[in-house]
Structure formats: structure tokens, C-alpha cells
Amino acid sequence: MKHNLKGDPVIWGIVFILAIISILVVYSATSSLAYRQMQGDTEYYLIKHSLLVLISLFAMWVAHKIDYRYYAGLSKLALWIAVPLLLLTWKYGLRINEASRWITIPFINQAFQSSDLAQLALIVALANRLAKCQNNIEDFKASVVPMLIWCGVIGGLIALTNLSAAILLFLTCILLMYMGRVPIKYLATLTMVGIFVGGIAMHIGQRGETGWKRVKAFIQEGPSFQTEQAYIAIATGGLYGKGPGKSDQRSFLPHSYSDFIYAIIIEEYGLLGGTIVILLYLALLYRGMLNVSKSNCAFGGLLSAGLSFALVLQAMVNIGVAVGLGPITGLPLPFVSMGGTSLVFTGISLGIILSVSRGDRDEHSSWSHIPNNQPQNVYRTQQ
């Protein structure tokens, strides 16, 4: 492990713990569903999910072996690929729950969520752009306008089918640009662009009406059926929980294996288990932000910060929805909820964060021949 797992050992530990929690809780949450749908084969989703977790860990390992500076060039290509993929998904994608978020990959018949690729590509590209423009960050036309365009295009296309994911991506971009010393007045411009593009997306997209209904219901009508069932799971979990595999609400709570998996965690492992999960995500954010101060170049620090923010912000929103602090969003709990491409791209994101920490820890790295002309130590947090 010491030879093959480079980078921050704390992040590796957090990921392995989350992977174990994921397999245990998803198996419990899907056992009755598998029994009904798979002719009594209660291990069907366990095997499928465990395989996806292993694939995600392998993707993470491969990503952490690659010098993070190579991702800057790959992100540009990925952005241009993501635009037609998002349009294709919107028009001809697999429609589930009134939204076309997936396209089916030919031959292997596997659903692919194009927004996962787009989000990762935008964060990497934005971090790279910010690092390159540190010396002339005040130049609105040359430095900021290209960022605004890409944020508006990618965010708007994602909002057509997944409004909550687009809002989280927008917030991540604002945080990243703030850390990259973009002036506040330009961030205000980005906010206006986001509101304008979001309004258009809500009008012509698939989720505008649904989004308004969920917000209105949350404010005026109180908890939905899903939220009420999540409340029951949380309330009956107590301090230490009912024990692994002993959830009762998994048979009544819709999407207990994805959107509301945190409620099942508390039901089976109690408030103690739920607190540990939150602390794991906060520790992941802390270790990711630690790369900002330790990174030898602006790109590495901004990249680690952006990806850490994106993952942990999504986790906090998922947890907040499960405990009734916000309207239902449909966002999974990163690296815990059952999923396909979301698990794989989460693994890749974590691998890139590890690659940043690896590049700064490995004194004998073979990457040292790669030129690095980016400004040093220019983060707003260090001013």
C-alpha cells in the first residue's frame, strides 16, 4: 500500500471508510427491493454496487497516478465534448422521473450521466484559467470573460435537466473564482449571468416547473411523503441505531439507497454513525484545502480546493435534504449512494485531489521535468 497508494494517506483512509459504509448501507437499503424485483435474489444490487465501488476505486487510483498538470489540457477537450453530450442528453436522453439526465452507451447498455463529465471538466478548466491569469486577473475582457462564458454555457445546459446540480456547480465556481482573487464586482457579474441563464433554463428546460413546485411545497405545505419517512427513520435510529441491516423504513422510503441514504445510515447506525459520516466529509474538505497552502503552484491548490468544495457541498446538501432542511433535490451522497457514473467521476475527482497532494509530497517524482510557469502562492486565503 505504501508503494502504490501515494498522496495524502488521510484522504485514502476517508475514502476506504466511505466505501465500506456505502456497501453495507446500500446492501441493506436494496435487499427488499432486490427480493421483489429479482425473484428473491437479495444480493443482486450488493454485487452490482460493490463492483461499481471497486471500479471507482480503480479510477481513483489511476487518476492519482497521473500528474495533475496534465488534466489542464484534458479539461479543454472534455468541455468541448461535454457541450454536445449535454444537448444530446436533453433532447434524446433516457427519461426518468420527468428528466433526461442519462444517455445509454451503445454495446455495453450502461447509462451515462453527461453532467458528471461536464462538472468535472469545468472545475478543472476554471482552476487552470485562474492560475494562468493571476498576473492580469483585473483584466475583465482577457481574463474573466472566458470564465463567465464557460460557466454560463455549462451551467445553463446542466440546468435544462438537473437544476440542483447546476446551482451547486454555480456556487462552486463562485467560491473557486473568489479564491483565485477575481474581484468582487466581477463575481457579481457572474451572479447576474447565472440568474439570467438559470431563468432561461427553467423556462425551456425540463425541471423548472418541478423545481418551483418543490420549493413551494417545502415552504407552504410542510414535509413531503419522502421527508416524513426519512424523519421516521432518523427518529427511530436513536443514538446508536438499530444495527446493520435492521432498517424498517427501507421498505417505505422512496430512493432510500440514493437520495435518502443518509436517513438509513442514522436508522441503522444512529446519531453517532450519522455524525461520523459528516465528520468524514468535513475532514475530506480540510485535507483538500490543505493542498492550497502546501501546493507548489496556483493550479494545484485551486484544483484541489474546487473539487473538494464540489464534493463536500453536494454531501452537505444531500444530508440537509434528508433531515428536512431543504426541498428534495435528487442529488446523491458522494461515494456512498448507489449510482453508476456518479461513483466513477467522484473517484476520478478524489484521484485528482490525491494527485495534487502526491505531486507536493513525492520529492523524487519523475514529474519534475514538467515546466511550471504559474504564479506561486497567490490565493486570496493567504493574503
pLDDT in tens, 155-197: 888 888 888 888 999 999 999 999 888 888 888 888 888 888 8
pLDDT of res. 362: 53
pLDDT of res. 107: 62
Q: Closest Cα to residue 224, out of 345, 296, 328, 325?
A: 328
Per domain, the residue ranges of the chain are 9-382
Q: Does residue 361 contact residue 353 with C-beta atoms inside 8 Å?
A: no
The low-confidence residues of the chain, meaning pLDDT below 70, are: 95-100, 105-110, 205-210, 360-383
Label residues 349-373 b or e (16+ Cβ within 10 Å = b). Answer: bbbbbbbbbbbbeeeeeeeeeeeee
CA angle 379, 74, 11 (to 5 degrees): 55
The torsion angles phi and psi of 95, rounded to 5 degrees, stand at: -95, 115
Q: Closest Cα to residue 21, out of 226, 348, 266?
A: 266
**What is the C-alpha separation between 337 and 329, in angstroms, rounded?**
14
C-alpha cell at 25: 448501507
pLDDT of res. 208: 63
pLDDT of res. 361: 55
pLDDT of res. 110: 67
The torsion angles phi and psi of 87, rounded to 5 degrees, stand at: -65, -40
